[in-house]
Amino acid sequence: MFSTKLFSRGLYALLLVFFASPVFAQSFRVQCPPVTALHPTPPSTNPNPAGGSIKCQQIGGGDGYATMADGTQTYLFAFGPLSGLVDIIHGLPGTEPASVFNQVSTGVGIGDPSPSTTFNGAVGLTPDPDSVPPNQLTGHVDPRPIMDVGVMNGNIPAPTMAIDEDDEFFLTLTNVGMIMRPDLFEQHTVHFHGYPNASAFYDGVPDASVAINIGGSFTYYYLAPDAGTYFWHCHITPPEHLQMGMVGQIYVRPRQNRVASGTLYAGLVAQQSDLRTKCGTDILCSSPLPPSNAITHVNNKAGTPTLYAYNDGDGSTAYDVEYPVQIHGFDPNFHFVGMTFNPEPFTDMKDKHFLLNGRSYPDTVNPNAMHTQSADGTEHFSQPLPTIINIPVGGKALLRISDLDVSEFQTLASLGIPMHVIGVNARLLRDLSGNDLTYKTNSITLGGGESIDVILDASDTTRYPAGQVYYLYTPNLDHLSNDAENFGGLMTEVHICNSVNPNTKSCA
């Protein structure tokens, strides 16, 4: 009998020979300039007049496996990390400053399920022997470590991205191929859903942009404009690639976070001096200029400088800890058929695994990165992002919730701690006159392609003392299961802690 495992290993060896040959060695590249015209000096030297800095990330498009809460091994079309490996393993965004991204790749691997590597730079980056003078970092890469790390290393959700307003973001997508489906010559793209991108060329819709073939790399460029929660996905046959797992989250932090001391007013005067953000001329301005006695920028309950979801001008979107929460659903039959060379039943698609950050309960409260054995017998980090929500006593948690389900509406309810909805689809809930349109509720409902920003306010220490446990879950009972098993699906726990470690977000 023909062995799929032997075939996949044989194809993998052929791919290595193909990509390591001198003719094709330049098909993989990365791009992350340390300085640009907009950011002419490294941020460690002098503040850039435009604000923000240069951020970079590398991802691989391919396939992999994930483990559902009932033990099912589910095949994925998926994106995986090729930079920021340590941060992603620890549940953090894989977006890095240029000084970290542009490190020479040495001995990087992801087969060992323990986070032993300390490398956050770009996998494969190596000195260019053909540069002038020789051996400069020009984006030249060695394709072998990229294949070693990227093959069968799909993540659900796809690697998280996080940037600040005014950042220049260079995102490299490298298509490493689908080992379990060698008959598919699938192209991939990155589309930032709802993101106000000025250039269609970098929008990821192949009709107006480009699509990346197997063995190729492409660097997308974005200038981060407005704060908010967005998400991204592959725009090649979207119903298929989204259902199969090629979805992730990106969020943009506001300029207001950069006010290090004193009052917020000084930072917002700078906002008014920039024509891109000046209220009165910019129709996307999310807040009118606040009064001069705006709130003071002080440390929060997590012991870190206060952060904000939006440029609110009055501190109303302040929070202590933040958690990205991506809702998704899997049809196990669709995924099985997708791996076995059979036609996929689009019209019969029916989700049975309902996921928060790629996990169903009780895996949602596992604080560790989950790993899955792939067809080649090696372990890969498949679901690195937990969904357990730890709030320091007297604090507030910002939930950045996005839904990229292709077949269902999804509802999340919070009983005990009300949801304060502050933003919808990356827009602060205020009208053009600055009136507050935010509201409190016990549940929110999203369709595929929507995002919502919610603050869980536990600042009343009498009502929410340390040690209390609450639940964030769906009241749709058929979504509260792991396929045929009960007590799973869209559910996670909210813990009130004496303190929260600002790096790991674990209760301390």
CA dihedral 129, 130, 133, 139 (to 10 degrees): -80
Class of domain 319-497: mainly beta
- For residue 291, pLDDT over 70 is answered with no
Lowest mean pLDDT across 18-32, 84-98, 368-382, 477-491: 18-32
Higher pLDDT, 219 or 307: 219
Higher pLDDT, 292 or 308: 308
Check: CB of residue 402 under 8 Å from CB of residue 325.
yes
Check: CB of residue 300 under 8 Å from CB of residue 349.
no
B/e letters for 283-295, b = 16+ CB within 10 Å, e = fewer, are eebbbebbeeebb
What is the rounded CA–CA span in Å between residue 416 and residue 110?
Answer: 40
Q: pLDDT tens digits for 157-169?
A: 999 999 998 899 9
Q: pLDDT tens digits for 30-71?
A: 999 999 988 888 766 555 555 788 999 999 999 999 999 988
pLDDT of residue 264: 52
Q: Which two tokens stand for residue 451?
A: 């995002």
pLDDT of residue 300: 75
Check: CB of residue 141 under 8 Å from CB of residue 124.
yes
The reply to whether domains 4-34+50-255 and 319-497 share a CATH topology is yes
If you average pLDDT over every residue of the chain, what do you get?
Answer: 83
pLDDT of residue 22: 36
What is the rounded CA–CA span in Å between residue 231 and residue 233?
Answer: 7
- For residue 18, pLDDT over 50 is answered with no
Q: pLDDT tens digits for 331-363?
A: 988 888 888 877 777 878 888 999 999 999 999
- For residue 266, pLDDT over 60 is answered with no
Q: Where are the chain's structural domains?
A: 4-34+50-255, 319-497
Q: Which residue has the tokens 């001198």?
A: 22
Q: pLDDT tens digits for 418-471?
A: 999 999 999 999 887 778 899 999 999 999 889 999 999 999 999 999 999 999
Residue 46 CB neighbour total at 10 angstroms: 9
Check: CB of residue 471 under 8 Å from CB of residue 492.
yes
Residue 390 burial (C-beta neighbours within 10 Å; 0-12, 13-18, 19+): buried
Q: Has domain 4-34+50-255 been given CATH number 1.10.3720.10? A: no
Q: pLDDT tens digits for 75-132?
A: 999 999 999 999 998 889 999 999 999 998 766 654 444 444 678 999 999 999 998 9
pLDDT of residue 198: 67
Mean pLDDT of 359-374: 91
